[in-house]
Copies of this chain bind each other. A is one copy, B any other.
Protein backbone atom coordinates (compact mmCIF):
# COMPACT_ATOMS: atom_id res chain seq x y z
CA UNK A 1 0.00 0.00 0.00
CA UNK A 2 1.27 3.43 -0.81
CA UNK A 3 2.76 5.48 1.97
CA UNK A 4 4.76 7.85 -0.18
CA UNK A 5 2.43 10.83 0.27
CA UNK A 6 2.47 11.60 3.96
CA UNK A 7 0.86 14.40 5.88
CA UNK A 8 3.46 17.15 5.97
CA UNK A 9 1.81 20.24 7.39
CA UNK A 10 -0.13 18.69 10.20
CA UNK A 11 -0.26 20.74 13.37
CA UNK A 12 -2.39 20.16 16.45
CA UNK A 13 -5.71 22.00 16.67
CA UNK A 14 -5.91 24.56 19.45
CA UNK A 15 -8.07 23.89 22.48
CA UNK A 16 -10.07 27.05 21.74
CA UNK A 17 -10.83 25.82 18.24
CA UNK A 18 -11.92 22.40 19.49
CA UNK A 19 -14.08 23.95 22.19
CA UNK A 20 -15.74 26.29 19.68
CA UNK A 21 -16.69 23.27 17.56
CA UNK A 22 -18.02 21.39 20.58
CA UNK A 23 -20.05 24.40 21.64
CA UNK A 24 -21.49 24.93 18.19
CA UNK A 25 -22.08 21.39 16.94
CA UNK A 26 -22.47 19.40 20.17
CA UNK A 27 -22.56 15.70 19.31
CA UNK A 28 -22.25 16.51 15.64
CA UNK A 29 -18.54 17.11 16.21
CA UNK A 30 -16.35 14.13 17.03
CA UNK A 31 -12.68 13.45 17.57
CA UNK A 32 -13.23 9.77 18.33
CA UNK A 33 -10.56 7.55 16.81
CA UNK A 34 -13.09 5.27 15.08
CA UNK A 35 -14.87 8.24 13.49
CA UNK A 36 -11.59 9.77 12.32
CA UNK A 37 -10.47 6.42 10.93
CA UNK A 38 -13.71 6.02 9.01
CA UNK A 39 -13.25 9.48 7.47
CA UNK A 40 -9.54 9.03 6.76
CA UNK A 41 -9.82 6.37 4.08
CA UNK A 42 -11.46 5.88 0.70
CA UNK A 43 -11.37 3.23 -2.04
CA UNK A 44 -7.91 4.30 -3.22
CA UNK A 45 -4.72 2.32 -2.68
CA UNK A 46 -3.51 4.84 -0.09
CA UNK A 47 -2.96 4.14 3.57
CA UNK A 48 -5.44 6.06 5.74
CA UNK A 49 -4.75 9.74 6.48
CA UNK A 50 -6.84 10.76 9.42
CA UNK A 51 -8.49 14.09 10.12
CA UNK A 52 -8.22 15.51 13.64
CA UNK A 53 -11.98 15.67 13.94
CA UNK A 54 -15.20 15.23 12.00
CA UNK A 55 -18.15 17.61 11.74
CA UNK A 56 -21.52 16.23 10.62
CA UNK A 57 -23.21 19.10 8.80
CA UNK A 58 -26.97 19.46 8.50
CA UNK A 59 -27.24 22.73 6.61
CA UNK A 60 -25.42 25.12 4.33
CA UNK A 61 -25.27 27.48 7.31
CA UNK A 62 -23.40 24.83 9.33
CA UNK A 63 -20.85 24.63 6.54
CA UNK A 64 -20.52 28.41 6.25
CA UNK A 65 -19.99 28.77 10.00
CA UNK A 66 -17.32 26.08 9.96
CA UNK A 67 -15.52 27.41 6.89
CA UNK A 68 -15.32 30.89 8.37
CA UNK A 69 -13.75 29.55 11.55
CA UNK A 70 -11.36 27.18 9.76
CA UNK A 71 -10.29 30.02 7.48
CA UNK A 72 -9.63 32.34 10.42
CA UNK A 73 -7.68 29.62 12.21
CA UNK A 74 -6.04 28.22 9.06
CA UNK A 75 -7.36 24.71 9.73
CA UNK A 76 -7.65 22.30 6.75
CA UNK A 77 -11.25 21.47 5.82
CA UNK A 78 -11.94 18.34 3.75
CA UNK A 79 -15.48 17.69 2.44
CA UNK A 80 -16.62 14.06 2.74
CA UNK A 81 -19.62 12.43 1.03
CA UNK A 82 -19.75 8.64 1.22
CA UNK A 83 -16.02 7.93 0.98
CA UNK A 84 -16.20 6.18 -2.39
CA UNK A 85 -13.47 8.22 -4.08
CA UNK A 86 -10.76 6.19 -5.79
CA UNK A 87 -7.73 8.49 -5.86
CA UNK A 88 -7.32 9.57 -2.25
CA UNK A 89 -9.52 12.59 -2.98
CA UNK A 90 -11.01 12.81 0.54
CA UNK A 91 -8.02 11.77 2.64
CA UNK A 92 -6.99 14.33 5.24
CA UNK A 93 -3.46 14.68 3.88
CA UNK A 94 -2.79 17.68 6.14
CA UNK A 95 -5.10 16.70 8.98
CA UNK A 96 -7.74 19.19 10.08
CA UNK A 97 -11.51 18.74 9.91
CA UNK A 98 -13.36 16.22 7.76
CA UNK A 99 -16.75 17.71 6.88
CA UNK A 100 -19.27 14.88 6.56
CA UNK A 101 -22.19 16.00 4.36
CA UNK A 102 -24.07 12.70 4.35
CA UNK A 103 -26.66 14.10 6.77
CA UNK A 104 -27.59 16.75 4.20
CA UNK A 105 -29.71 14.28 2.29
CA UNK A 106 -32.94 16.05 1.45
CA UNK A 107 -34.44 16.57 -1.99
CA UNK A 108 -35.14 20.31 -1.93
CA UNK A 109 -37.15 20.97 -5.09
CA UNK A 110 -38.37 18.77 -7.92
CA UNK A 111 -39.25 20.82 -11.03
CA UNK A 112 -40.51 17.96 -13.13
CA UNK A 113 -41.91 20.30 -15.78
CA UNK A 114 -38.40 21.77 -16.27
CA UNK A 115 -36.54 18.45 -15.90
CA UNK A 116 -34.52 19.74 -12.95
CA UNK A 117 -34.13 18.76 -9.32
CA UNK A 118 -32.30 20.51 -6.50
CA UNK A 119 -30.83 18.32 -3.76
CA UNK A 120 -28.58 18.69 -0.78
CA UNK A 121 -25.04 17.50 -1.44
CA UNK A 122 -25.39 14.32 0.62
CA UNK A 123 -28.21 12.82 -1.45
CA UNK A 124 -26.94 9.70 -3.24
CA UNK A 125 -27.70 8.85 -6.84
CA UNK A 126 -29.80 5.81 -5.94
CA UNK A 127 -31.76 7.75 -3.33
CA UNK A 128 -32.44 10.47 -5.90
CA UNK A 129 -33.78 8.05 -8.49
CA UNK A 130 -35.86 6.30 -5.84
CA UNK A 131 -37.44 9.56 -4.70
CA UNK A 132 -38.24 10.94 -8.17
CA UNK A 133 -39.46 7.66 -9.62
CA UNK A 134 -43.11 8.82 -9.75
CA UNK A 135 -42.30 11.85 -11.89
CA UNK A 136 -41.48 9.69 -14.93
CA UNK A 137 -38.00 11.23 -14.93
CA UNK A 138 -34.58 9.87 -13.98
CA UNK A 139 -31.04 11.00 -13.31
CA UNK A 140 -28.69 9.03 -15.55
CA UNK A 141 -25.22 9.53 -14.10
CA UNK A 142 -24.02 6.37 -12.36
CA UNK A 143 -20.50 5.95 -11.09
CA UNK A 144 -19.94 2.43 -9.79
CA UNK A 145 -20.54 3.37 -6.16
CA UNK A 146 -23.76 4.84 -4.79
CA UNK A 147 -21.96 8.18 -4.53
CA UNK A 148 -23.38 11.45 -3.23
CA UNK A 149 -24.41 14.12 -5.70
CA UNK A 150 -22.05 16.59 -4.04
CA UNK A 151 -19.14 14.19 -4.37
CA UNK A 152 -20.06 13.39 -7.96
CA UNK A 153 -20.15 17.10 -8.84
CA UNK A 154 -16.85 17.72 -7.06
CA UNK A 155 -15.24 14.83 -8.96
CA UNK A 156 -16.82 15.63 -12.35
CA UNK A 157 -17.99 12.03 -12.26
CA UNK A 158 -19.72 10.07 -14.97
CA UNK A 159 -20.35 6.35 -15.47
CA UNK A 160 -22.01 4.02 -17.93
CA UNK A 161 -24.62 6.45 -19.30
CA UNK A 162 -22.25 9.29 -20.18
CA UNK A 163 -21.97 8.28 -23.84
CA UNK A 164 -25.62 9.32 -24.25
CA UNK A 165 -26.34 11.73 -21.39
CA UNK A 166 -22.99 13.39 -20.66
CA UNK A 167 -21.12 13.73 -17.37
CA UNK A 168 -21.61 15.90 -14.30
CA UNK A 169 -20.01 18.69 -16.36
CA UNK A 170 -22.98 18.73 -18.72
CA UNK A 171 -25.68 17.86 -16.18
CA UNK A 172 -25.09 20.17 -13.23
CA UNK A 173 -27.15 23.30 -13.80
CA UNK A 174 -26.19 25.19 -10.67
CA UNK A 175 -24.64 24.77 -7.26
CA UNK A 176 -24.82 26.28 -3.84
CA UNK A 177 -21.24 26.63 -2.69
CA UNK A 178 -19.66 27.78 0.55
CA UNK A 179 -16.48 29.73 -0.12
CA UNK A 180 -13.25 29.32 1.82
CA UNK A 181 -14.15 32.32 3.98
CA UNK A 182 -17.70 31.15 4.66
CA UNK A 183 -19.81 33.05 2.16
CA UNK A 184 -22.75 31.28 0.52
CA UNK A 185 -22.90 31.58 -3.25
CA UNK A 186 -25.40 30.35 -5.81
CA UNK A 187 -23.50 29.73 -9.04
CA UNK A 188 -26.27 30.07 -11.64
CA UNK A 189 -29.96 30.37 -12.37
CA UNK A 190 -32.15 27.46 -13.49
CA UNK A 191 -32.13 28.65 -17.12
CA UNK A 192 -30.95 25.96 -19.53
CA UNK A 193 -28.36 28.30 -20.95
CA UNK A 194 -26.79 31.59 -19.99
CA UNK A 195 -24.02 33.92 -21.11
CA UNK A 196 -24.13 36.02 -17.94
CA UNK A 197 -20.53 36.14 -16.83
CA UNK A 198 -17.98 33.56 -15.78
CA UNK A 199 -19.07 29.94 -15.50
CA UNK A 200 -18.85 29.54 -11.72
CA UNK A 201 -20.78 26.28 -11.91
CA UNK A 202 -18.14 24.57 -14.00
CA UNK A 203 -15.33 26.11 -11.98
CA UNK A 204 -16.57 24.13 -8.97
CA UNK A 205 -17.58 20.98 -10.87
CA UNK A 206 -14.43 18.85 -10.79
CA UNK A 207 -12.58 21.02 -8.27
CA UNK A 208 -12.59 18.22 -5.65
CA UNK A 209 -13.39 20.44 -2.70
CA UNK A 210 -10.31 22.59 -3.25
CA UNK A 211 -12.08 25.79 -4.38
CA UNK A 212 -15.29 25.73 -2.35
CA UNK A 213 -17.65 23.32 -0.60
CA UNK A 214 -20.66 22.19 -2.60
CA UNK A 215 -23.73 22.03 -0.35
CA UNK A 216 -26.59 21.93 -2.89
CA UNK A 217 -26.74 20.65 -6.45
CA UNK A 218 -29.29 21.30 -9.20
CA UNK A 219 -29.09 18.71 -11.97
CA UNK A 220 -30.91 17.93 -15.19
CA UNK A 221 -33.31 15.03 -15.34
CA UNK A 222 -34.45 13.03 -18.35
CA UNK A 223 -37.71 11.31 -19.28
CA UNK A 224 -37.64 7.61 -18.46
CA UNK A 225 -37.27 6.08 -21.92
CA UNK A 226 -40.42 4.74 -23.50
CA UNK A 227 -38.54 1.59 -24.46
CA UNK A 228 -35.32 0.10 -23.09
CA UNK A 229 -33.49 -2.96 -24.25
CA UNK A 230 -30.14 -4.43 -23.36
CA UNK A 231 -27.91 -6.92 -25.10
CA UNK A 232 -24.62 -8.72 -24.70
CA UNK A 233 -22.18 -9.65 -27.40
CA UNK A 234 -18.99 -11.72 -27.02
CA UNK A 235 -15.81 -11.47 -29.08
CA UNK A 236 -12.72 -13.58 -29.50
CA UNK A 237 -10.42 -10.61 -29.21
CA UNK A 238 -10.42 -7.39 -27.27
CA UNK A 239 -9.58 -5.54 -30.48
CA UNK A 240 -12.73 -6.75 -32.28
CA UNK A 241 -14.88 -5.66 -29.35
CA UNK A 242 -13.38 -2.20 -29.19
CA UNK A 243 -13.40 -1.79 -32.96
CA UNK A 244 -17.15 -2.49 -32.92
CA UNK A 245 -17.66 0.33 -30.43
CA UNK A 246 -15.64 2.75 -32.53
CA UNK A 247 -17.79 2.00 -35.58
CA UNK A 248 -21.03 2.28 -33.59
CA UNK A 249 -20.05 5.70 -32.25
CA UNK A 250 -18.81 6.82 -35.67
CA UNK A 251 -22.17 5.80 -37.19
CA UNK A 252 -23.81 8.19 -34.73
CA UNK A 253 -25.96 5.48 -33.10
CA UNK A 254 -27.30 7.07 -29.88
CA UNK A 255 -26.57 4.08 -27.63
CA UNK A 256 -27.39 4.80 -23.99
CA UNK A 257 -24.66 2.53 -22.68
CA UNK A 258 -21.85 0.49 -24.15
CA UNK A 259 -19.53 -1.18 -21.68
CA UNK A 260 -16.51 -3.33 -22.30
CA UNK A 261 -15.31 -6.15 -20.03
CA UNK A 262 -12.27 -8.28 -20.70
CA UNK A 263 -12.34 -12.05 -20.11
CA UNK A 264 -10.95 -11.69 -16.58
CA UNK A 265 -13.60 -9.15 -15.69
CA UNK A 266 -16.33 -11.46 -16.99
CA UNK A 267 -14.87 -14.35 -14.99
CA UNK A 268 -14.81 -12.27 -11.79
CA UNK A 269 -18.36 -11.06 -12.41
CA UNK A 270 -19.69 -14.56 -13.05
CA UNK A 271 -18.25 -15.68 -9.76
CA UNK A 272 -19.32 -12.64 -7.71
CA UNK A 273 -22.79 -12.16 -9.22
CA UNK A 274 -23.61 -15.83 -9.95
CA UNK A 275 -23.95 -15.32 -13.68
CA UNK A 276 -22.83 -17.62 -16.46
CA UNK A 277 -21.65 -15.23 -19.13
CA UNK A 278 -19.24 -16.56 -21.72
CA UNK A 279 -15.76 -15.71 -20.46
CA UNK A 280 -14.34 -13.81 -23.41
CA UNK A 281 -14.16 -10.08 -24.19
CA UNK A 282 -17.69 -8.75 -24.05
CA UNK A 283 -19.76 -5.68 -24.82
CA UNK A 284 -22.83 -4.83 -22.81
CA UNK A 285 -25.29 -2.50 -24.56
CA UNK A 286 -28.37 -0.59 -23.54
CA UNK A 287 -30.69 1.23 -25.93
CA UNK A 288 -33.17 3.95 -24.95
CA UNK A 289 -35.86 5.49 -27.12
CA UNK A 290 -39.18 4.87 -28.75
CA UNK A 291 -39.92 1.21 -29.54
CA UNK A 292 -39.01 1.66 -33.20
CA UNK A 293 -36.01 3.85 -32.33
CA UNK A 294 -34.65 1.17 -30.04
CA UNK A 295 -35.20 -1.45 -32.71
CA UNK A 296 -33.37 0.66 -35.29
CA UNK A 297 -30.39 1.20 -33.01
CA UNK A 298 -30.20 -2.46 -32.06
CA UNK A 299 -30.31 -3.53 -35.68
CA UNK A 300 -27.39 -1.31 -36.70
CA UNK A 301 -25.40 -2.43 -33.65
CA UNK A 302 -26.04 -6.08 -34.46
CA UNK A 303 -24.80 -5.58 -38.02
CA UNK A 304 -21.65 -3.80 -36.86
CA UNK A 305 -20.79 -6.39 -34.22
CA UNK A 306 -21.38 -9.21 -36.71
CA UNK A 307 -19.01 -7.54 -39.17
CA UNK A 308 -16.41 -7.48 -36.37
CA UNK A 309 -16.73 -11.20 -35.54
CA UNK A 310 -19.10 -10.68 -32.62
CA UNK A 311 -20.84 -13.84 -31.44
CA UNK A 312 -23.94 -14.82 -29.50
CA UNK A 313 -25.72 -11.47 -29.58
CA UNK A 314 -28.09 -12.02 -26.67
CA UNK A 315 -31.04 -9.88 -25.56
CA UNK A 316 -32.00 -9.03 -22.02
CA UNK A 317 -35.51 -7.72 -22.47
CA UNK A 318 -37.15 -7.95 -19.08
CA UNK A 319 -36.35 -5.33 -16.44
CA UNK A 320 -35.21 -8.15 -14.13
CA UNK A 321 -32.66 -9.52 -16.60
CA UNK A 322 -31.43 -6.00 -17.36
CA UNK A 323 -31.10 -5.07 -13.72
CA UNK A 324 -29.19 -8.25 -13.02
CA UNK A 325 -26.70 -7.52 -15.79
CA UNK A 326 -26.19 -3.90 -14.87
CA UNK A 327 -25.90 -4.60 -11.17
CA UNK A 328 -23.26 -7.17 -12.07
CA UNK A 329 -21.44 -4.56 -14.16
CA UNK A 330 -21.58 -1.98 -11.36
CA UNK A 331 -20.18 -4.57 -8.99
CA UNK A 332 -17.23 -5.39 -11.24
CA UNK A 333 -14.93 -3.47 -8.88
CA UNK A 334 -15.93 -5.59 -5.89
CA UNK A 335 -15.98 -8.73 -8.03
CA UNK A 336 -12.40 -8.05 -9.06
CA UNK A 337 -11.31 -7.60 -5.44
CA UNK A 338 -12.49 -11.16 -4.81
CA UNK A 339 -10.17 -12.47 -7.49
CA UNK A 340 -7.43 -12.01 -4.90
CA UNK A 341 -8.72 -12.07 -1.33
CA UNK A 342 -7.09 -9.41 0.83
CA UNK A 343 -5.98 -7.44 -2.21
CA UNK A 344 -6.33 -3.71 -2.58
CA UNK A 345 -7.14 -2.27 -6.01
CA UNK A 346 -5.28 0.47 -7.83
CA UNK A 347 -7.37 1.75 -10.70
CA UNK A 348 -6.31 3.52 -13.87
CA UNK A 349 -8.73 5.88 -15.61
CA UNK A 350 -7.39 7.13 -18.93
CA UNK A 351 -9.70 8.47 -21.64
CA UNK A 352 -8.62 8.88 -25.28
CA UNK A 353 -10.23 10.04 -28.52
CA UNK A 354 -12.35 7.16 -29.79
CA UNK A 355 -10.17 6.70 -32.88
CA UNK A 356 -7.24 5.73 -30.63
CA UNK A 357 -9.17 3.46 -28.30
CA UNK A 358 -8.48 0.05 -29.85
CA UNK A 359 -4.77 0.76 -30.04
CA UNK A 360 -4.64 2.10 -26.50
CA UNK A 361 -6.54 -0.84 -24.98
CA UNK A 362 -4.60 -3.44 -26.95
CA UNK A 363 -1.18 -2.00 -26.07
CA UNK A 364 -2.23 -1.71 -22.45
CA UNK A 365 -3.42 -5.31 -22.22
CA UNK A 366 -0.18 -6.48 -23.78
CA UNK A 367 1.84 -4.57 -21.20
CA UNK A 368 -0.38 -5.62 -18.29
CA UNK A 369 0.04 -9.25 -19.22
CA UNK A 370 3.64 -8.93 -18.02
CA UNK A 371 2.55 -7.75 -14.54
CA UNK A 372 3.20 -9.84 -11.46
CA UNK A 373 -0.38 -9.34 -10.20
CA UNK A 374 -3.86 -10.02 -11.61
CA UNK A 375 -5.82 -7.29 -13.36
CA UNK A 376 -9.10 -6.74 -15.17
CA UNK A 377 -10.07 -4.18 -17.81
CA UNK A 378 -13.53 -2.64 -17.91
CA UNK A 379 -14.51 0.48 -19.74
CA UNK A 380 -17.07 3.07 -20.69
CA UNK A 381 -15.71 2.57 -24.15
CA UNK A 382 -18.24 4.76 -25.97
CA UNK A 383 -16.46 7.71 -24.35
CA UNK A 384 -12.97 6.35 -24.98
CA UNK A 385 -12.62 5.75 -21.23
CA UNK A 386 -11.43 2.49 -19.68
CA UNK A 387 -10.13 1.24 -16.34
CA UNK A 388 -7.45 -1.28 -15.47
CA UNK A 389 -8.06 -2.61 -11.96
CA UNK A 390 -4.75 -3.87 -10.63
CA UNK A 391 -5.07 -6.20 -7.65
CA UNK A 392 -2.17 -5.58 -5.32
CA UNK A 393 -0.88 -7.21 -2.19
CA UNK A 394 -1.20 -4.30 0.28
CA UNK A 395 2.00 -5.34 2.09
CA UNK A 396 4.17 -5.58 -1.02
CA UNK A 397 5.98 -2.30 -1.74
CA UNK A 398 7.55 -3.67 -4.93
CA UNK A 399 4.14 -4.50 -6.34
CA UNK A 400 2.90 -1.00 -5.60
CA UNK A 401 5.87 0.48 -7.44
CA UNK A 402 5.31 -1.89 -10.36
CA UNK A 403 1.65 -0.84 -10.58
CA UNK A 404 2.63 2.82 -10.50
CA UNK A 405 5.11 2.26 -13.29
CA UNK A 406 2.45 0.52 -15.40
CA UNK A 407 -0.08 3.25 -14.67
CA UNK A 408 2.43 5.91 -15.65
CA UNK A 409 3.21 4.10 -18.87
CA UNK A 410 -0.51 3.93 -19.65
CA UNK A 411 -1.04 7.61 -18.86
CA UNK A 412 1.89 8.55 -21.07
CA UNK A 413 0.37 6.47 -23.89
CA UNK A 414 -3.01 8.17 -23.41
CA UNK A 415 -1.56 11.67 -23.33
CA UNK A 416 0.46 10.95 -26.48
CA UNK A 417 -2.88 10.00 -28.08
CA UNK A 418 -4.35 13.41 -27.04
CA UNK A 419 -6.14 11.85 -24.10
CA UNK A 420 -6.31 12.46 -20.35
CA UNK A 421 -4.93 10.78 -17.22
CA UNK A 422 -8.38 10.68 -15.65
CA UNK A 423 -11.73 10.44 -17.39
CA UNK A 424 -13.93 10.45 -14.30
CA UNK A 425 -12.17 9.59 -11.03
CA UNK A 426 -10.52 12.94 -10.46
CA UNK A 427 -6.95 13.76 -9.50
CA UNK A 428 -6.98 13.43 -5.73
CA UNK A 429 -3.49 12.46 -4.62
CA UNK A 430 -2.94 9.68 -7.09
CA UNK A 431 -3.00 11.56 -10.40
CA UNK A 432 -1.18 14.73 -9.26
CA UNK A 433 2.08 13.43 -10.69
CA UNK A 434 0.54 13.44 -14.18
CA UNK A 435 -0.89 16.95 -14.16
CA UNK A 436 2.25 18.62 -15.48
CA UNK A 437 2.62 16.10 -18.28
CA UNK A 438 -1.00 16.51 -19.31
CA UNK A 439 -1.48 20.27 -18.96
CA UNK A 440 1.96 21.87 -19.07
CA UNK A 441 3.40 24.28 -16.54
CA UNK A 442 1.63 27.39 -17.90
CA UNK A 443 -1.84 25.84 -17.62
CA UNK A 444 -0.98 24.65 -14.11
CA UNK A 445 0.07 28.18 -13.26
CA UNK A 446 -3.42 29.38 -14.24
CA UNK A 447 -5.00 26.66 -12.10
CA UNK A 448 -2.79 27.64 -9.17
CA UNK A 449 -3.74 31.29 -9.52
CA UNK A 450 -7.43 30.28 -9.46
CA UNK A 451 -6.82 28.24 -6.31
CA UNK A 452 -5.01 31.16 -4.68
CA UNK A 453 -7.84 33.54 -5.64
CA UNK A 454 -10.62 31.33 -4.26
CA UNK A 455 -8.78 29.88 -1.26
CA UNK A 456 -5.95 32.25 -0.38
CA UNK A 457 -5.14 30.49 2.91
CA UNK A 458 -5.15 27.03 1.32
CA UNK A 459 -7.56 25.51 3.83
CA UNK A 460 -9.82 23.66 1.35
CA UNK A 461 -8.71 20.05 0.87
CA UNK A 462 -5.05 21.11 0.84
CA UNK A 463 -2.39 19.03 -0.87
CA UNK A 464 -4.70 17.78 -3.63
CA UNK A 465 -5.12 18.19 -7.40
CA UNK A 466 -2.26 20.64 -8.08
CA UNK A 467 1.38 19.56 -7.79
CA UNK A 468 3.88 22.02 -6.39
CA UNK A 469 5.39 24.41 -8.96
CA UNK A 470 8.71 23.46 -10.50
CA UNK A 471 11.65 25.04 -8.72
CA UNK A 472 13.91 27.18 -10.86
Contact = CB atoms under 8 A, between A and B. Distances in A.
Contacts of A274: none
Given A114-B354, A185-B443, A292-B292, A195 B419 contact: no
Interface stretch (A74-82, A278-286, A425-433): A425-433
A179 interface: yes
Contacts of A435: 196-197
A184 B156 CA distance: 26
A144 interface: no
Nearest to A166: B170
Specify how many copies of this chain sit in the oligomer.
2
A422 B353 contact: no
Contacts of A170: 166, 170
A472 interface: no
A466 interface: yes
A162 interface: yes
B192 A439 contact: no
Contact of A197 (B116, B384, B424, B439): B439
Interface stretch (A92-100, A329-337, A397-405, A448-456): A448-456
Contacts of A440: 185-186
A431 B195 CA distance: 10
A203 B193 contact: no
B442 A184 contact: yes
A169 interface: yes
Contact of A446 (B166, B290, B454): B454
A203 B206 contact: no
B351 A191 contact: yes
A307 to B, nearest CB: 17
Contact of A355 (B114, B157, B251, B385): B114
Contacts of A438: 189, 196
A430 to B, nearest CB: 12
A167 interface: yes
B296 A431 contact: no
Contact of A191 (B186, B207, B384): B384
Given A440-B186, A442-B185, A196 B420 contact: yes
Contact of A351 (B116, B166, B193, B352): B193
Interface string A204-245: 011100010000000000110000000000000000000000
A200 interface: yes
Contact of A194 (B199, B203, B351): B351
Given A114-B353, A195-B427, A200-B447, A189 B252 contact: no
Given A186-B443, A442-B184, A450-B453, A423 B195 contact: yes
Contact of A353 (B155, B191, B431): B191
Nearest to A452: B453
B296 A195 contact: no
A421 interface: yes
A447 B353 contact: no
5 tightest A-B CB contacts, nearest first = A223-B252, A453-B453, A194-B420, A202-B202, A449-B453
22 contacts: A113-B355, A115-B250, A170-B170, A183-B442, A183-B445, A185-B440, A186-B443, A187-B443, A188-B420, A189-B418, A191-B352, A192-B351, A194-B351, A195-B422, A196-B427, A197-B444, A198-B447, A200-B443, A203-B203, A292-B296, A293-B296, A450-B454
